Amino acid sequence: MDGASSRLDTISLRPRRQAGQQVNIGFDLRYPTQRFQHGYASRGQICDPPLVATLTGFLQQGDTFIDIGSHIGYYALLTLQQVGKQGRVFAFEPNPETYRVLLANALSNGSANFFPVNCALGDTTGSADLFINEHDEGMTSLVAQTERSVSIAVTTLDELHAVANFPRVRTAKIDVEGFEQRVIAGAAVFLEATQPENVVFEVNQFLPGADPDAEFTIRRQLAERGYTSHLIRPWLIPPDHPPFPEDGLFARLDPDQALRLSYGNILATRRQITAPPFVH
């Protein structure tokens, strides 16, 4: 679609538990994912409250939050109040069309500590074909091939850290439509140097070509670095989803068992969390 013809509908939002200044988030209503998020924002509601609570809940003033696969910056912008003026938020989005909205959102908030970057992260540095999902730009992927693609820049967290020397990384979110394992593979030096307390990553088996064992591989790699993994309470739980414990935000995952779910978000953390086991 022609980005020049877009017009953003901007709404002020903040997580309900927060005090202080709201953030302005613009949505290009030509795109289904943005229309979906806009629907909640227009009613003063937060999209996926469990994920927002996870991403914002551990952050402190002065922390760095890294959002890989930021889309329009919806979740990244909601972390600004937690990190404060001394903190940093880095938002990486490879889709040029979506990045235009992310950049506009960064500018509309006038935050000197919010850094949008138009590139993908993986395990190598160079370029790659990004396959555009015409029906749902939120499912645009480096893995699931479609008829239309664009060439994008790709780098690694290790390469970026060598330049940026990310300070006080508290949480990194990875939502890259089946490319999560490649991001982790390119982050060995970053993980060792920054010791982020939390890594949140997506599981999405709806993508054609998605590796069903990727989440298990990532969890084992992170476990070797001292992380324990928890399933974040699903939002809009589908009827066929295994029961989630009644109370709490997290359910503990068995480190020796793969998670056979079509979709979910996982928190890998160094923090001590008391949570019931997830049985599936």
Which pLDDT band, with edges at 50, 70 and 90, does 50 fall under? very high
pLDDT of 18 reads: 53
Taken in order 215, 87, 156, 224, is the CA torsion positive or negative? negative
Whether the predicted pLDDT of 141 surpasses 50: yes
Report the pLDDT averaged over residues 5-12.
Answer: 85
pTM, full prediction: 0.94
Whether the predicted pLDDT of 1 surpasses 50: no
User: In percent, how much of the chain has pLDDT > 70?
Assistant: 95
- CATH code, 3-269: 3.40.50.150
Whether the predicted pLDDT of 15 surpasses 70: no
**DSSP calls for 132-195:** E-SS-GGG-BSSS--SEEEEEEEE-HHHHHHHH---SEEEEEE--TT-HHHHHHT-HHHHHHH-
Whether the predicted pLDDT of 64 surpasses 70: yes
> What are the tens digits of pLDDT across the range 76-125?
999 998 999 999 999 999 999 999 999 999 999 999 999 999 999 999 99
Number of Cβ atoms within 10 Å of the Cβ of 252: 16
Over the chain, what is the mean pLDDT? 92
pLDDT of 4 reads: 47
